[in-house]
Structure 1
């Protein structure tokens, strides 16, 4: 049995109650049979009904003359409290094979030899249905870097902003200003909202308005340490402390995600056919003078194989792990890898499955003084928990309709001295000049070097959870702060392990394989220890429980990091948007090189990782591709 370490993010989110949720109106038609789906003459087939696939397919179906089909391995989970109740977040969905593919990495040599979990949503709506609700954007500088790598200005901040807005319906939550935001700053943000935010998109985004003392005290402590509150992190500058937006409809107290927001409003359209419980296994091509044209998709349902046909385009939205898997199974990828699995190469694209990038987190935990209230009260006080369950069932308010929302995006300059920064940059320079790097990787490293040196892009994220994580004692309250690498130097890969389409691929993130990542995460952990010893946060603390306070040396702290750190489930980059010669897989229109009509629309196309949670950006990509396709429909 593998000893699997799960992402630190969802493991923090367990809440005891399981109340009912509002009944979400969704005129779900009868699910098509596999045979009737295969017999339908589609214009477009979308492989994967996840975050991007559901959004894009629903938008395509807005054209009544376009017949759109979706093949999704999971099913629709409508009005499911495990997914919908914000107080649960991912605690029950993540790692639960009813909702999660629950992939496992190969042993991570530099992370204690552990097999780490890689959560990917297996349901209509994909990971948007089981994630931690964070709804944020990268900085303008990072999106502009996408345009630089792609050689296409349409992928810049200004090119993506309209589509970030198009997906969003920002619902301003009545709330006191977040700590560190002055009335003047709040008024300035309010005036700028129409230029930055979206107000008519499908995904409802809102701000949390429930702040425990941990939120206020941690924010003020960070402010005292020189890290200011960012009143408008959506506007292109993301550094600082902020009250992160959540994909949460606060008027109903439920998660807002692709299935409920996009699918349900389009489900009754007669030209929209969504087949669930079916897994795509191969894309079949026809040769033309212009390249390979994708015409058919093979899929398996209930153990039987079928083939569906599309006359215009096939869109691959299977995610960062399964998109490269399906490309390789279909003959697109590194020809050496394909031949080793007895697959005939159709297009030699060595970038398929490479450039795997992921955020990576360590955690610090503190036991809090008696009387300090956190979300842990739901664990410690059964009477109060029952009252909160009744309140949520009655009007969808209270603690179960909320969650923590304090995040801080920091530069290296925020956490280390100038001398230490120069040491880190020297380590980076040595590793970034290693032989055998692809052109894409060289370009990524050049950008990262500039960001780290200038301090204009987040290098680290801190996330506060007012709950316990490790060896939690009944009756005690805890605070946990995760500290994660936003732009690690380590690059991993994912490739087919066999030609069996139902087998999991070999996923090797290569966590902490570069010394730069390990050293920065060590500095992050030291900063978290300093934070816990600084007022006013320290006024709430009884004792640091993790790492063990007796661990003082670098070697002891590194041992803790290697034994306990984990990914943030923001996997990107395995079918990168970049020139083919540098290792890219798709062009500026997200078409796979060498094909005439196969596009990839999911996080695998990210040219470089972003210092943000990936959800909102994935929706924006789907909205952007729909806009591009609209011109040809």
Structure 2
């Protein structure tokens, strides 16, 4: 049985579907596959970008960096407004524009984060279903975890079988081949007082350990091939997928969505489809509030200013955006160390690697991007700072939870910002993912024209504590690089604060020296959340309840990273999968209840 090909929007103009899923990203794939398992219902999945399988490099772990640089067809590029705390720079937010969404373009490391984050999520929204003890079974349901690793690394990892799944659709493991430098990085972290974390996905990620990756047999495992692969599509004739199609706005009457206006990007045609049962928005932290606003669901003052009839006044729509942020410290290292960037600077080396990958999915293109190490430290200087003392008791208690890390520091192969086109030169990056940021951004629309660019303002570093997080995380990273473990490996710093790396007193580096570097180079963390925040009914900023139902609407849900009520200390792709699973379950049970009621 062959899967049905994806269609254009014009091919379905005027048709009616039971369920409409707007957005074929990580959550959208999970939800579409889940509700298409209901017998005798019709499901429409709408994706603005291309179908999966059209760009084979998506599956190649070692090409993930080149994807983000060059795969313009597979990416959204959203420019921000100038950021006052970042020297008025405009940043570019990248997101996946294809079936699978950002799970098709992200770095493939899966990090669940601390159990305390999910317990906090449950507390905020008033639903124990989000507690770690109840979310863990869903995480295990997702996973096909392979604990194998090279024997010489076994002392650094001891995952418990009870914390992991063995038969899920998402393939997880430590990587078949291991990148250079793991042992050195771990030893350097030990020397700075960071303990070993035997399993970063156990619910307590604090420490240094081996990363876990959604890669198997040299291929990316992501939402498209895990949930909407060829066999799944072939078995679900009730699922219609349209690609290269944007969801412009919802039509509704008395709180009931009756249909969706679509824009066929290839034909530049406007079409309309109808909805019998429920519509769910899975267009992401930027796309979902955009659709709501264009449909008259959002802050009244914004809608009235843009001449959009107000359907539901949702003051929180597009507000409260949270994100991690990234900055790197980079080093020239011993040229005997092979590094990722060299592949793409030497045509002969790349050709050899591609031939090996094509033959058996091994070699450098299978190794880079599918193995590594990271640390989730707790940074004591943060808790001793004036900025911390100025926080509320609630904020302090949140940050002082002992299993909640202060930041994340990655070992990266090759340079990130620093440029050198000589394939003979080896470089290393320590990538700093700044967590627990308190600055809140916004997402909005410029007009009632869906073709206009959105207004994105992450407001990075606006909160004083975020600046302290950045300063102390850079200081911690420099200390790691200055340990005895790195003697003979690091030759010099090529990207970092303006200091003498070998002799500077790292504890005495002034804030302005650090901030000058940070303001020049801080960038997005790829983990934007919370623009359609989930919460309790009495919270005026809430957009959806714990069951993903949009406030003031009867058959509309939002289910993607926009609903996250907190900025979790993890890689947020896991949140998107969990949201998809939980929403699919809610929709399945809602369908069952309605049809049982209809029989009475």
Q: With the length of structure 1 as denominator, give the TM-score of the two structures.
A: 0.87
3-state SS, counterpart of residue 590 of structure 1: coil
Q: Pick which of 521-530 and 89-98 moved more.
A: 89-98
1:631 CA displacement: 1.7
Within a 5 Å distance, the mapping from 1:423-434 to structure 2 comes to: 423-427=386-390, 429=391
Return closer, same or farther for 1:297/1:497 CA change in 2, 3 Å cut-off: same
Spell out the pairing of 1:324-403 with structure 2 (5 A cutoff): 324-379=289-344, 383-403=348-368
Relative distance call for 1:298 and 1:111 in structure 2 (3 A) is: same
Cα RMSD over matched residues?
A: 2.0
Q: Which residue of the partner structure matches residue 420 of structure 2?
A: 472
Please tell me whether the aligned partners of residues 333 and 349 of structure 1 are also in contact (alpha carbons under 8 angstroms).
yes
CA distance, structure 1, for counterparts of residue 154 and residue 471 of structure 2: 28
- 1:381 deviation in Å? 5.6
Give the counterpart of 1:600 among 552, 555, 558.
Answer: 558
* Equivalent residue number for residue 499 of structure 2: 550
Aligned pairs for 1:233-312 within 5 A = 233-249=200-216, 251=217, 253-264=218-229, 265-268=231-234, 269-287=236-254, 292-301=255-264, 302-312=267-277
Partner of 1:345, secondary structure, is: coil
Which residue among 214, 226, 229 is the counterpart of 2:193? 226
> Is residue 2:286 matched to residue 1:321?
yes
Tell me which residue corresponds to 2:85.
110
- Single out whichever of 382-391 and 295-304 deviates more from structure 2: 382-391
Offset, 1:212: 4.3
Cα deviation, 1:577-632, whole Å, max 9, x if unaligned, reads 11243211100111001111111110000010111001122111111111222223
Alignment partners' CA distance in 2, 1:533 and 1:128: 35
Distance 1:212 1:31, change over 3 A: closer
- Tell me: CA distance 1:528–1:201, structure 2 relative to 1, closer, same or farther (3 Å): same
Post-superposition shift, 1:453? 2.8
Is it true that 1:88 corresponds to 2:46 in the alignment? no
Q: Distance in 2 between matches of 1:72 and 1:300?
A: 11
> Structure 1's 285 and 307: CA in aligned 2 closer, same or farther, altered over 3 A?
same
Give the unaligned 5+ runs of structure 1: 1-25, 433-444
Shift of 1:174: 4.3
Structure 2 equivalent of residue 457 of structure 1: 404
Q: Please give the secondary structure, in 2, of the residue aligned with 1:461.
A: strand
Q: Would you say 1:502 and 2:477 are equivalent positions?
A: no
Please identify, of 495-504 and 258-267, the stretch whose mean Cα deviation from structure 2 is larger.
Answer: 258-267
Secondary structure, aligned partner of 2:276: strand
Query: For residues 308 and 412 of structure 1, what CA distance do their matches in structure 2 show?
Result: 53
Q: CA separation in 1, counterparts of 2:97 and 2:345? A: 32
User: For residues 204 and 545 of structure 1, what CA distance do their matches in structure 2 show?
Assistant: 36
The number of residue pairs the alignment matches comes to 574
Work out whether residues 116 and 401 of structure 2, in 8 Å CA contact, stay in contact via their aligned partners in 1. Answer: no
Contact 1:214 1:374 in 2 (8 A): no
Corresponding residue number in structure 2 for 1:491: 440
SS of 1:169 mapped into structure 2: strand
In structure 2, C-alpha distance between the alignment counterparts of 1:209 and 1:239, rounded to whole Å: 25
Contact 2:345 2:421 in 1 (8 A): no
Q: 1:172: Cα distance to partner?
A: 3.4
How far has the Cα of 1:379 moved from its partner? 4.7
Q: Distance in 2 between matches of 1:162 and 1:254?
A: 25
CA distance in 2, matches of 1:516, 1:548: 19
**Unaligned 5+ residue runs, structure 2?**
501-508, 592-600
How many angstroms apart in 2 are the aligned matches of 1:610 and 1:622?
17
1:564 aligns with 2:521: yes
Contact 1:204–1:256 (Cα < 8 Å) also in 2 = yes
Partners of 2:259 and 2:549 lie apart in 1 by 16
C-alpha distance in structure 2 between counterparts of 1:259 and 1:90, whole Å: 20
1:573 corresponds to which residue?
Answer: 530
1:221, distance to aligned residue in structure 2 (A): 0.9
Structure 1 residues 152 and 95: alpha-carbon distance in aligned structure 2, compared to 1, 3 A threshold: farther
Q: Distance in 2 between matches of 1:40 and 1:90?
A: 40
Alpha-carbon deviation of 1:576? 0.6
TM-score, normalising length from structure 2? 0.91
1:617 and 2:575 correspond: yes
2:105 maps to which of 130, 147, 170: 130
Secondary structure at 1:46 match in 2: strand
Match of 2:482 in 1: 533
Matched residue, 1:584: 542
391, 408, 421: which one pairs with 2:384? 421
